[in-house]
Amino acid sequence: MTVLKTRNLTKRYGNTAAVDNVSLTVDKGDIFGLIGQNGAGKTTLMRLVTSLARPDSGSIELFGESTTSGLNAARSRMGCVIEQPALYPNLTAKQNLEVYRIERGIPDKSAVQKTLEMVNLADTGKKKFKNFSLGMKQRLGLALALLSSPDFVILDEPTNGLDPIGIIEIRDLMKDMSEQGITLLVSSHILSELSQIANKYAIIHHGRLVKNITQEQLREECKRALAVTVDDAAKAAAILETVLNIRDYKQVSANELRVYEYLDNPSEVSYQLNQGRVRVASIHEIGDNLEDYYAKLIGGELK
């Protein structure tokens, strides 16, 4: 089931396209990572989806609904934390959520306690929000998004500014949300952070969609390997298996292979291929870490 689909979505501010012709699809069960530097258009895209901003062109579909009335109804199944959530500094966690429960007309009075337990804030007692740590504040923001038991949650930079422990806590919470059947759209400017939980990604730069990629494709593209160019890849593959006992390889074309073993000993691979009368034109290591891969996609502007 498709939860969110955007088609050629565009939003301009003056002469600048904050979101420029973006099409993406989030399916039920996804943890979908929206990756981009600050100012890339991530927040604007999320604001368009949640109706906090209006698109200049393009379309949005939520839970199969695309009409104005249908979208309004579908958005009742969403929760979101975009930018800084409005919470009352002099109220406790429970009091803050109770205010929003009443405001949103949620009849289940136990929803507040259940949600606080979900984000590990049930034991904060009389401690006021203004005295919370940044990690606790972020978790209460998540609680606000979860209060109405949504099917789809949008989170804008949920780990921004957190220390390593806070990042792990939020990451674990997002995993728990996914395991409970909640679909997530999560933005970040750090690909390596979202790579630990997301199964799909859209990389956005200067408002434009640069790449749609799955977790499996990302791992494959960043995987370290020996790129081996030969005169006969099929014959070379037989030698890899029978002589070097290599099983982790891929034949890319009639003249090229990717070998994921022997990365520390390419000369042995070359030697055995030559011994088997396979001509080796080149052999070298390829593959990027996540940061290098991201930087290449956006033109080397990563800092």
C-alpha to C-alpha distances, 62 to 77, 140, 213, 303, nearest whole angstrom: 9, 26, 21, 35
Give pLDDT tens digits for 22-60: 999 999 999 999 999 989 999 999 999 999 999 999 999
Q: Are 259 and 239 in contact (CB under 8 A)?
A: no
198 half-sphere exposure, CB direction, 13 A CA radius = 28
Choice between 229 and 84, residue whose per-residue pLDDT is larger: 229
Give the confidence band of 294 by pLDDT, cuts at 50, 70, 90. confident
What residues contact residue 131 under an 8 Å CB cut-off, 6+ apart?
A: none
In this model, does residue 301 exceed pLDDT 70?
no
Cross-strand pairs, 153: 79, 184
Q: Which domains does the chain have, with CATH numbers?
A: 2-219 (3.40.50.300), 224-286 (3.30.70.100)
Q: What is the share, in percent, of the chain residues with pLDDT greater than 90?
A: 78
Q: Looking at residues 181-194, what average pLDDT do you find? A: 91
**Which residues have a Cβ under 8 Å from the Cβ of 103 and sit 6 or more positions away?**
none
pLDDT (tens digit per residue) in 86-102: 899 999 999 999 999 99
- Calpha distance 284→50 (Å, rounded): 47
Judged by DSSP in three states, 240 sits in helix
**Confidence class of residue 14 from pLDDT cuts 50, 70 and 90?**
very high
Is the pTM value of this prediction over 0.95? no
Enter the tokens of residue 206.
Answer: 């200067």
Instruction: State residue 128's pLDDT score.
Output: 95
Using left for φ > 0, alpha for ψ between -120 and 50, and beta otherwise, residue 64 falls in left
**Taking all residues of the chain, what is their mean pLDDT, rounded to a whole number?**
92
> Which backbone phi and psi does 53 adopt, to 5 degrees?
-145, 160
Give the bridge partners for 62, in sequence order. 4, 65
Does pLDDT of 303 surpass 70? no
Do 147 and 102 touch, CB atoms closer than 8 A? no
Cβ neighbours around 65 below 10 Å, total = 16
Which tokens in the block code for residue 244? 């070097």
